[in-house]
Amino acid sequence: MKTFRLLPGYFKIIGLLMVIPGAILGAMTLYGEFEFPWLDFKIREKDEFLLPAVENFTNELAFFLIIAGLLFLVFSREKEEDERVQQIRLEAFQWSFLVHFVLVIIANWFMFSENFFFVLIYGMFTPLLVFLGRFYYVLKIKEAPSFNENEGEV
Amino acid sequence: MKNRVKEERARLNLPQQALAEQIGVSRQTIHSIESGRYVPSTVLALKIAKIFEKPVEEIFELEAGD
């Protein structure tokens, strides 16, 4: 069956190696105001309202590591990638789409001003995170190989 | 959809793993098909029928409600 092209399985390791440091760095910039001094770049002639002349790119780096790493985790092959895994994959995408927008609706009514800023930040990861949660829940827990059922025998 | 994959496997004395390898899927997929949780694609159903050397309708059958 012709299916969507996926990345080789080892991209999962690359993905993890990006997401974990990215998440730590992201938390440090978001909650600890941490910045790498060498990531200061002058992008304008002078400061303007809400637009500083020098921008620090530590948070951009963290954001990139998280999003790109999660994409690698989402779009890499399973060891036994067959049509049933593909179906679980597609169903998990449906799930993540729905859950993401339900969360957006909830956040819309219950989160305001600065809190909504965090919604915007975390909201960019929810589709990917919900996908991973749902996909691996179905694959590894709900439809896990049941060795005690003796099905391998005839 | 009902299927007779398990019975046909028993007839040929073919373990799930061996059937899975012959048609290029995981053992878990064979298990899911046999327990009725997964409906295989037409391509996969035809491959299974070919292994058992029977027409596909003798292995897969529509049920009321399908």
Residue among A82, A88, A142 with most chain B CBs within 10 A, to mutate: A82
Residue among A87, A139, A151, A153 with most chain B CBs within 10 A, to mutate: A151
The amino acid at A67: I
Considering only CB atoms, which chain A residues are within 8 Å of B34? 151
Q: Note the pLDDT tens digit of each residue in B26-61.
A: 999 999 999 999 999 999 999 999 999 999 999 999
Considering only CB atoms, which chain A residues are within 8 Å of B24? 82
pLDDT at position A127:
95
Mean pLDDT of residues grouped by 10 in chain A (154 residues)?
A: 81 97 94 89 85 89 96 94 94 96 92 86 93 95 66 48
Structure tokens at A100: 């993401």
pLDDT at position A5:
86
Mean pLDDT over B10-35 rounds to: 94
Give the Å distances, CA to CA, from A9 to A72, A80, B34: 9, 10, 28
Does the beta-carbon distance from B29 to A83 stay under 8 Å? Answer: yes
